[in-house]
Amino acid sequence: MNIRFYNARILTMEKNRDVFEGEIWIKNEKIVGVFTCRELAELSEDMFPRIVWDAEIDCKYNLLMPGFKNAHTHSAMTFLRSYADDLPLSRWLNEKIFPMEAKLERDSIYDFTQLAVLEYLTSGITSIFDMYIDPTTVAEACMDAGMRCVLVSGLNNFTSSAELMEEEYLKFNQKNSLISYQLGFHAEYTCSKDLLCKVAELAHKYRAPVYAHMCETEKEVEECKIRYGMTPAMFLDSLGMFTYGGGGYHCVYMSPEDMDVFSMRRLHVITNPASNLKLASGIAPVAEFVKRKIPVSIGTDGPASNNCLDMFREMFLVSGLSKVREHDAASMDADKVLRMATVCGAKAMGLNKADVLAKGKFADIIMLDMQSPNMQPIHNITKNIVYSGSKSNILMTMINGRILYHNGNFHIGKSPEAIYERCKNHLKRMLSE
């Protein structure tokens, strides 16, 4: 479809470019033009392309910006929302999560993933970095709904294998504008050394980055030291795991030497503040990562540990917790945090065509309501987004040139009520077994 957005405030997230008024033009899945009002006025009739618009949308001076990149998710875990709360991580996983996950079936993973997609759209999330049991089913659920998804393997001693991960890597990295795949594994503590060495071999074979949960709790770090005499980051690097980059989810307990590894290997930190708070894991040293020029992006983690798939809450927590941790109200500027939630997330996920709003980029765009009381007055739009913004401000979410959510209505091929009913039936079966 050819879509024209006009009368818009625009935040492209390009470096050193402030918010301006103008238009964005979409052709199929790509942006074909981002114009200031002055540039539009200077276009001559000969230069003006003759486009037949399928839709022309008056933005009424609300804000268009790149969608948020949720850089760590376990989408299908919506079925465990509020099921296993108020427990420490080890008990949460072993006593509650793993036994219920054993009851999952393919169609339930599909529907629980689509339930998460509905929530992502209401939060302005246009891309997810998803690790879960059945990547094929997650991919199908996302494709059918129109969600952009980067899959990452959750390989461990109990599920999947290095051979299957290689098959998935080749399968999902064929040309597809919505689905791609990165090498990964669940965590050091759920993988044998032999299995981790196989992952490192694949990273070298394909010159590919690798991602995993890392340094999430003190217990995890101390037990790795007992096993291997090194922290998780140091141990994994000693295997050659990160020769071609990658990153770690959580990264709460990082030593200076761990940070040296991340700097040297150009690894990404994906911070998950709400999940780390709820599981009492701790507060990541985000200000120190930024100081060391280690790229930081933001993820919600899964809906069983968060429990809200809300990037506004995550952004506020990244900034607020850093200020408390460092005893410095200036330690984490809102502009940096907004960049983490958009551009940095895209880089971590390998989505270089979905990072900013510019000609030739994917049309992954959200519209924020600037007329709401929480956005007034408009002294500084980016700080309003991080410090006072909320999901209620999301008027529209477009992915790959398709409007999937607009003014409270979903356009993903099925009704929310149908998804809710299917999820309810799956849960009824699982709880009765």
CATH of the domain at 45: 2.30.40.10
309 within some domain: yes
189 and 330 assigned to the same domain: yes
pLDDT at 37: 93
pLDDT over 60 at 47, yes or no: no
286 and 368 assigned to the same domain: no
Strand arrangement, sheet containing 296-298? 68-73, 125-130, 148-152, 179-187, 210-214, 246-250, 268-271, 296-298
Once rounded to an integer, what is the mean pLDDT over residues 25-50? 84
312 and 365 assigned to the same domain: no
pLDDT at 92: 83
98 and 108 assigned to the same domain: yes
233 and 167 assigned to the same domain: yes
229 within some domain: yes
CA angle 344, 388, 252 (to 5 degrees): 45
> How many domains is the chain partitioned into structurally?
2
74 and 210 assigned to the same domain: yes
Round to whole Å and give the CA distance between 119 and 308. Answer: 9
245 and 383 assigned to the same domain: no
Residues 298-348: pLDDT tens digits?
A: 999 999 989 999 999 999 999 999 999 999 999 999 999 999 999 999 999
7 within some domain: yes
Q: What is the CATH number of the domain that holds 269?
A: 3.20.20.140
96 and 86 assigned to the same domain: yes
424 within some domain: no
Domain range for 262: 68-348
121 and 229 assigned to the same domain: yes
294 within some domain: yes
Q: Which of 255, 268, 252 is nearest to 152 (CA)?
A: 268
418 within some domain: no
31 and 150 assigned to the same domain: no
24 and 78 assigned to the same domain: no
pTM score: 0.96
Round to whole Å and give the CA distance between 428 and 262. Answer: 44
Distances (CA, A) of 100 to 77, 307, 428: 10, 17, 12
Average pLDDT score, the chain: 95
Residues 244-278: pLDDT tens digits?
A: 999 999 999 999 999 999 999 999 999 999 999 99
Give the contacts of 291 (CB within 8 A, at least 6 positions apart): none
Residues 96-149: pLDDT tens digits?
A: 888 999 999 999 999 999 999 999 999 999 999 999 999 999 999 999 999 999
